[in-house]
Structure formats: C-alpha cells, structure tokens
Chain A
Amino acid sequence: MALEAKNIFFRYRNKKPWILEDCTLRVEKGERLALFAPSGYGKTTLAMLLAGYLKPIKGQILLEDKPLPQKGICPVQLICQHPENAINPRWRLRRVLEEAGGIREDMLDAFGIETAWLSRFPRELSGGELQRFCVARAISSDADYLICDEISTMLDVITQAQIWNVILNEAEKHNTAVIAVTHNRHLAAKIAERTVELPDL
C-alpha cells in the first residue's frame, strides 16, 4: 500500500532543462511526510505529478503498483497553494463542498466554517477562509493520500494551527497519508514523521 514516483522525468517544454530528473519517492499509506526545497526546484510540479494533474515525460506514478485511475474520484487529492484559483468564482460555497460529496457538520465546526459563508460567493471571503473550504473539500472526498502544497503559507498562525490539527486528526482517523510541501521547517518538524529534501531525490 503505497504511492510511488518511479524514476520520473518532467519538463514543461521540449528542449528546456529538466525540472525533475530521475526522481523517485515512496509514500506509505498513513505516513506523514514533509517535502522541502528552495523556490523553483519543482515542489509544486512534483505535487501535481503525484496527484495526476500532470503526466511525467518518462517514468511512472504508481498507486498500489498500478497507474493512477483516470476515472472516478482520485484517491490522491491535491490541495493547492492559491485557494481562489481552485474554487469556481461563480459558485456559492455550498456547492463547492457538495461537489466532493456532501456537507459534514462536524467538519464545518472543526474548520470554523460559519454556516453563513455557505451561501456566499468566493470573492466575498478571504484567502484563509477559502482555503478551509479547499481542505474540507479534499478531506470529504475520502482520499487515501492528501498532498498539501503550501496550503498554510497565507494563513495567520492560529488558523494555520487550527487547519493542521483538523487535517492530522482526520488523517489519523482514516489512516490517510499526508504529504506536506512547505518552506517552514518548524511546521515540518511539528507535523511530519519523515522529511525529504527535493534536490536529493
């Protein structure tokens, strides 16, 4: 039971230098992993490859020794850095949660999502408030692997702690693997069991 990147190569355009070159990573189910790298080393690219948003040029992404499923709910869910891009600006936020299969009251409480927000449009909420919806959406899809791509960079410290507590609680409950992409070494030390430096892969 693991999510694996096997010798993957990736670049956005032909004849440009490789962003990821012969990169191998294995994440066990239920593991908590922090992924480190300076800016521009391909952290987000690796996150998108692992979640199936991009396809590697060479190499394979394997989930339990099979390629990622193309149809149905993907068991690997990515939470993006910029929540305002990941939510349809024409949808009221109730629909955003319903898209991943229903609204759970306990989740709303845990994330501090107020009921009044559900009938608002995304542009009426702040980035931090929107990020809670993105995280809640990813968790309610019952994913086995959660990839968090710098999800708390724009949040204040209290909200950061609050959101990570919920993520770790839920992950514990459902034996979900959490892959945290981050700049913040203190945060990584707090949440992860294992830390990986991207240039070493």
Chain B
Amino acid sequence: MSILKISHPAGRRTRVVILTILIALLLITIYAMGIFIPDEAAAGSFLEAGQPPSWKHPFGTDMLGRDLLARTLKGMAVSMTIGIAASAVSAVIAVITGIAAAAGSRYLDASIGWLIDLVMSIPHTILVILISFAMGRGLKGLLIGIAATHWCSLARLIRGEVLQLRSRQYVAVSRRLGRSGGWILIHHLLPHLLPQLLTGLILMFPHAILHEASVSFLGFGLPPEQPAIGIILSESMRYLSTGMWWSAVLPGLVLVLIVLLIDRLGEQLRLILDPGSAQE
C-alpha cells in the first residue's frame, strides 16, 4: 500500500476529487427528483392503502394509499432545503457574531456572550415553536426558527478560534507589513475557520431536519399535507403497531443515507482544502 502511495502521488487527490463530485451529484439528483416528481405520483388511492414494498411501490404505500417512495423523495427535497438553508444561515450568523465578539470591544463581547447564554438556556424546540409561530408558521417560519436557534455553539467555537488566531505571529507580521484588519480577517483568519465552519454546518444539518420533523409533528411547523420527512415518520408511528414497518424504516434509512452522504462530502472537502492533506 505504501509503495502504491509513493508511486502515484497524484492518484489519491484525483480519487478524492472524483468521490466529492460523485457525492455532490448524488445529493443533487435526489434533490432534483424530489422537486420534479409530479404531485400526482404521491397522490393516494384507497385501493392500494397499506401495501408492503413491491415492484410497483418500492417503498410500499401508507394508510392513505400514497406511494411512499415518491413521498419520501419529495419530503427529502423539502427537508434538505430546510436543513441546508437553515444551517447555512445559522453558520453565517455564527461567523459574524463569533468574529464580532472576538474582535470587537469588551462590551460587545459581553453582550454577545449574554445573548448566546440566553438562546441556549431556552430549550430549542420551544424556541423554534415560538419563533416559527410568530413568523407565520409554514416553511418560512420554520426556516427562521431553526436558523435563529442553532448558531450559538458554533459562534462560541469561532470566537475562541479567532481569539487564538489573532495572537499568532504571522498576524502581527502582516499588520506590520501594513495590512488592514479587514484584509487580515479575510486572508489570514477566514481560511482557518473554514474547517470549523464545514464541520459545524454538517453537524447542524441533521439537527435542523430533526427539529423540523419534531416541530411539524407537534403541529407548529409544516402543514400536514406537505410531504416532509418528519411528517412521514411521525405518521408512520401511528401504524407501526399494525405491522407497517416499511413506512418508518425505508424513509428513515433514506434520511440516514442523506445525512451520511453530507457527512462524507464535508470530510472529502476538508481533505482537499486542508494543507495537511492537500498535496498527498
């Protein structure tokens, strides 16, 4: 193995890049399928209610006779939108507040610290429900609710990281070479924050989806006719005792698969971007 590595130094990088592109393509395909599947495909027919998986319905049908594969894919698209958008917005909030806390005045740092404590002291679910309700529920309310509650721990992490980076010698050198604070932030600090940011984003993604599911389950999120993965799972709970295992297991597996894929995507991106492995 070690001989192979030495004799093909470029091969590993190419393989990582190809894997990254493949995973990204797969995620995009699932997303596109969810969006382009017509609503009729997920429409129900009581003649086919509660069928186990078959060639016609690979994921079976639910108690209303709706095809679960079509519903899962459509639900996945909605959940991915919420997951990606909410965690991206959350991450941006975290970066801005984290940097502001580390680089700003002591009062700013204290007030951001206080705000983080405040948001973290309230259980997420309750806060998401409150914000989502105040913002008019539905997709928009949920997005704002989840984005506004998930930035805290990442913001703390970034604050600590920036404090540490600011005291590095190369930052001091850069300042003596006449570079401005903004230039140093963009060129010296942000590249170091990228791994934290990627990992934070990826860890936030399943969190966001699960919050979406739980809030929808409680009736404060998405309307019940919308096929979101959380709604499918919570509906399936009602029929699990009648032996309809497929309505919970298969959509659940797809959710796990998507989360794993995004996790792998993050890991591959880190391999490409990190100087420790970039040229291996």
Q: A121-B279, A123-B276 are in contact. Are A73 and B178 (CB under 8 A)?
A: yes
Give the contact stretch, choosing among B7-15, B20-28, B118-126, B168-176: B168-176
Chain A nearest CB from B117 CB (Å) reads 30
B275 touches A141 (CB 8 A): no
| Chain B residues whose CB sits within 8 angstroms of the CB of A122 once the complex forms | 275
A124 touches B177 (CB 8 A): no
The CA-CA distance from A13 to B192 in the complex, in Å, is 30
Q: A90-B192, A124-B279 are in contact. Are A85 and B168 (CB under 8 A)?
A: yes
A86 touches B177 (CB 8 A): no
Chain A nearest CB from B166 CB (Å) reads 13
Q: A121-B278, A123-B276 are in contact. Are A78 and B168 (CB under 8 A)?
A: no
- Do most interface residues of chain A lie in helix, strand or loop, or is the interface mixed? loop
- Closest A residue to B176 by CB, please name it: A74
Q: A85-B168, A85-B169, A87-B170 are in contact. Are A77 and B176 (CB under 8 A)?
A: yes
| Chain A residues whose CB sits within 8 angstroms of the CB of B170 once the complex forms | 85-88
| Chain A residues whose CB sits within 8 angstroms of the CB of B178 once the complex forms | 71-74
B279 touches A90 (CB 8 A): no
Interface residues of A in 65-114 (CB under 8 A from B): 71-74, 76-78, 80, 82, 85-91, 99-100
| Binary contact readout B240-259 vs A (1 if CB under 8 angstroms, 0 otherwise) | 00000000000000000000
Interface residues on B, range: 10 to 19
B140 within 8 A of A: no
B177 touches A100 (CB 8 A): yes
A141 touches B168 (CB 8 A): no
- Closest A residue to B273 by CB, please name it: A90
| Chain A residues whose CB sits within 8 angstroms of the CB of B279 once the complex forms | 120-121, 124
| Chain A residues whose CB sits within 8 angstroms of the CB of B173 once the complex forms | 78, 80, 86, 137
Interface residues of B in 252-274 (CB under 8 A from A): none
The CA-CA distance from A52 to B175 in the complex, in Å, is 10
A53 within 8 A of B: yes
Contact pick for A53, options B168, B176, B275, B276, CB 8 Å: B176
A78 touches B276 (CB 8 A): no
- Closest A residue to B278 by CB, please name it: A121
B191 within 8 A of A: yes
Interface residues of B in 173-194 (CB under 8 A from A): 173-174, 176-179, 188, 191-192
Interface residues of A in 121-136 (CB under 8 A from B): 121-124
If A82-B169, A90-B275, A122-B275 are given as contacts, then 5 extra A-B residue pairs at C-beta distance below 8 Å, sorted by A number, are: A85-B170, A86-B173, A88-B170, A137-B173, A137-B177
Residues of B in contact with A (beta carbons under 8 Å apart): 168-170, 172-174, 176-179, 188, 191-192, 275-276, 278-279
**8 sample A-B contacts, Cβ–Cβ < 8 Å, listed by A number:** A53-B172, A71-B178, A74-B177, A86-B173, A90-B192, A91-B191, A99-B174, A99-B177
